[in-house]
Homo-oligomer: A and B are copies of this chain.
Amino acid sequence: MTAYETLEQRFARLSALREAAGILHWDMSAMMPPGGAGARSEQLTALDLTCHELMSDPALADLLDEAEGDADSLDTWRQANLRGMRRTWRHETALEPRLVEALAKAQHACEMTWREARPASDFAAVLPGFAALLKLVREAAEAKAAALGCAPYEALLDEYEPGGSAARIDEIFTDLAAFLPGFLGQVLERQAAQPAPRLPPGPFPAAKQEALAHKLMQGVGFDFDHGRLDTSLHPFCGGVPDDVRITTRYDEADFTGALMGVLHETGHAMYERGLPPEWRLQPVGAAAGMALHESQSLLVEMQACRGAEFIGYMAPLARAAFGGQGPAWEADNLLRLATRAAPSFIRVDADEVTYPAHIVLRTRLEKAMIAGDLDPKDVPGAWNEAMESLLGIRPPDDRLGCLQDIHWYDGAFGYFPTYTLGAMAAAQVFATARAAVPDIPAALSRGDFAPLMAWLREKVHSQGALHTTGDLLKQATGKALDPEIFKAHLTARYLG
């Protein structure tokens, strides 16, 4: 066996162990009784340590060197796979064991404090643990930067968005920050002139919401022979490509949240399912990054399902599912409801117009923290100021401000920008698909995603991680990520 072939075997083993951990994470959120937490933590730690040891094996480093020395003999697919292996290896081995352990402990400690501090809106309580954690994260960023040969923040970003450019994100977000406040003002003015949307009256029993969700998921193309829908406190898409586990939570007073949430996760699931089966368990067979992943969920949810065609299809089905009556069930009203924009404090509840402002804010602050330009104690002030400048509202307390998201308090820096990069990519990919396949709108008005998904599968899903997100976008849409397309989408939908 060549060095490269041995590496394929080793990475297949690693990926299968990580998939096992993925199923255990799903179970933890969707099935596990509370008393199982301690044992589950032992199981996941054992898997983590085992993977880390497999990756830190000096023989693996030698194999990578040897395979790279002979890379010219490999085809482009194997070269891309080898690059993915090296990248994964760099991330996994960049930190000394001492730092890995210190980080794990600090993350756990800070997250535990945060869980109590958030409802109490008590930033002071979380500050010492958060400051200690940030210090270690900055140390890790330096170590990764050295290993990857880039700047510290970019090294963190790279974990979620391979090859992502912090400078380009800066440009894009600066442009967005300039565009959004004025645009939002116009949208609010226009909405004020329209009839206010009405939430259809409930209650909406969870079982009926679930049945409707199943039907719509099947229309998107979700295959229940290869996946499940369950409930969990925080909705997510987990599992593995041939067995995708998506979750939601039902609010019996408002069916729209869970329904749109399920469609969002279904978009993630379709990407996972569409990854090339023959590339399974290899780095090149994985998703290209979190921005592209988010683009696929937002393409389904924001671009397709909140559009007039799909809402026109869904409205009578939803009315029938819940036995609803009255004008709140009209498609026009449901469409206004699905595209209502308004400044608000909580990111996860934000609409697509204001969401990017939440992301711009977080990206600015986390970059400053990693650079050492923003002290943790000054985060609440910086947060509130940025909210005021971007959305014109000021959080009355830190619960509605800088304590709302788990990310930082769990040590995750560099993830936030992928949400908005994904929203932009979604607009760009959807616009290209609609231009390439004229059937798409008519099919969506019948709840049928087949023409859209066929195009996505060919142009996006089947590419795995063969290209960076940037290169893939160029291939699929003819150009690099172009914020103007996202702005054009917002303008057409909200001011059109």
Max chain B C-beta neighbours (<10 A), residue from A27, A33, A228: A33
Chain A residues 237 to 262 lying within 8 A of chain B, measured CB to CB, are: 239-243
The answer to whether A31 and B241 have CB atoms under 8 Å apart is: no
Chain A residues 1 to 56 lying within 8 A of chain B, measured CB to CB, are: 12-13, 16-17, 19-21, 23-24, 27, 31-36, 38-40, 42-47, 49-50
Total interface residues in chain A, CB < 8 Å = 40
Q: Is the C-beta of A224 less than 8 angstroms from some C-beta in chain B? A: yes
Q: A23-B27, A24-B23, A50-B13 in contact; A243/B45 too (CB < 8 A)?
A: no
The answer to whether A242 and B35 have CB atoms under 8 Å apart is: yes
- Chain B residues whose C-beta falls within 8 Å of the C-beta of A20 in the assembled complex: 20-21, 24, 43-44, 46-47
> In the complex the two chains form, what is the Cα distance from A23 to B36 in whole Å?
11
> In the complex the two chains form, what is the Cα distance from A19 to B46 in whole Å?
10
Q: A20-B20, A42-B16 in contact; A243/B47 too (CB < 8 A)?
A: no
Chain A residues 159 to 192 lying within 8 A of chain B, measured CB to CB, are: none
The answer to whether A35 and B281 have CB atoms under 8 Å apart is: no
Q: Is the C-beta of A226 less than 8 angstroms from some C-beta in chain B? A: yes
The answer to whether A19 and B33 have CB atoms under 8 Å apart is: no
With both beta carbons as reference points, the residue of chain B lying nearest to A225 in the complex is identified as B35
Contact partner of A35 (CB less than 8 A), chosen from B13, B17, B31, B223, is: B223
The answer to whether A36 and B281 have CB atoms under 8 Å apart is: no
Q: Is the C-beta of A227 less than 8 angstroms from some C-beta in chain B? A: yes
- Shortest CB–CB separation between residue A260 and chain B, in angstroms? 24
> In the complex the two chains form, what is the Cα distance from A330 to B227 in whole Å?
45
- Shortest CB–CB separation between residue A265 and chain B, in angstroms? 16
Q: A27-B23, A226-B33 in contact; A242/B39 too (CB < 8 A)?
A: yes
Max chain B C-beta neighbours (<10 A), residue from A32, A226, A242: A242
Chain A residues 179 to 227 lying within 8 A of chain B, measured CB to CB, are: 223-227
- Chain B residues whose C-beta falls within 8 Å of the C-beta of A42 in the assembled complex: 12, 16, 19, 280-281
- Chain B residues whose C-beta falls within 8 Å of the C-beta of A34 in the assembled complex: 225
The answer to whether B40 and A243 have CB atoms under 8 Å apart is: yes
The answer to whether A13 and B46 have CB atoms under 8 Å apart is: yes
- Chain B residues whose C-beta falls within 8 Å of the C-beta of A241 in the assembled complex: 39
Q: A228-B31, A280-B39 in contact; A16/B46 too (CB < 8 A)?
A: yes
- Chain B residues whose C-beta falls within 8 Å of the C-beta of A239 in the assembled complex: 36
Q: A31-B228, A35-B225 in contact; A17/B240 too (CB < 8 A)?
A: no
> In the complex the two chains form, what is the Cα distance from A61 to B241 in whole Å?
39
Q: A17-B50, A43-B20 in contact; A33/B240 too (CB < 8 A)?
A: no
Q: A38-B242, A39-B241, A42-B16 in contact; A31/B33 too (CB < 8 A)?
A: no
The answer to whether A43 and B27 have CB atoms under 8 Å apart is: no
> In the complex the two chains form, what is the Cα distance from A31 to B24 in whole Å?
12
> In the complex the two chains form, what is the Cα distance from A223 to B34 in whole Å?
11
- Chain B residues whose C-beta falls within 8 Å of the C-beta of A224 in the assembled complex: 33
> In the complex the two chains form, what is the Cα distance from A281 to B42 in whole Å?
9
- Shortest CB–CB separation between residue A34 and chain B, in angstroms? 5
Chain A residues 320 to 361 lying within 8 A of chain B, measured CB to CB, are: none
- Shortest CB–CB separation between residue A429 and chain B, in angstroms? 26
> In the complex the two chains form, what is the Cα distance from A223 to B36 in whole Å?
11
- Chain B residues whose C-beta falls within 8 Å of the C-beta of A31 in the assembled complex: 31, 228
> In the complex the two chains form, what is the Cα distance from A239 to B32 in whole Å?
10
The answer to whether A243 and B36 have CB atoms under 8 Å apart is: yes
> In the complex the two chains form, what is the Cα distance from A327 to B369 in whole Å?
76
Residue positions of A touching B, CB distance < 8 A: 12-13, 16-17, 19-21, 23-24, 27, 31-36, 38-40, 42-47, 49-50, 223-228, 239-243, 280-281
- Which 6 residue pairs spanning A and B have beta carbons closest together? A36-B243, A16-B46, A35-B226, A20-B43, A35-B225, A39-B242
Sample (18) of A-B pairs whose CB atoms are under 8 Å apart = A16-B45, A17-B46, A17-B50, A19-B42, A20-B20, A20-B44, A23-B43, A24-B24, A31-B31, A32-B243, A34-B225, A35-B223, A35-B242, A36-B240, A38-B242, A39-B240, A39-B243, A39-B280
Q: Given contacts A17-B46, A20-B46, A38-B242, could you give 5 more A-B pairs where the C-beta distance is less than 8 Å?
A: A12-B46, A17-B50, A33-B224, A35-B242, A36-B240
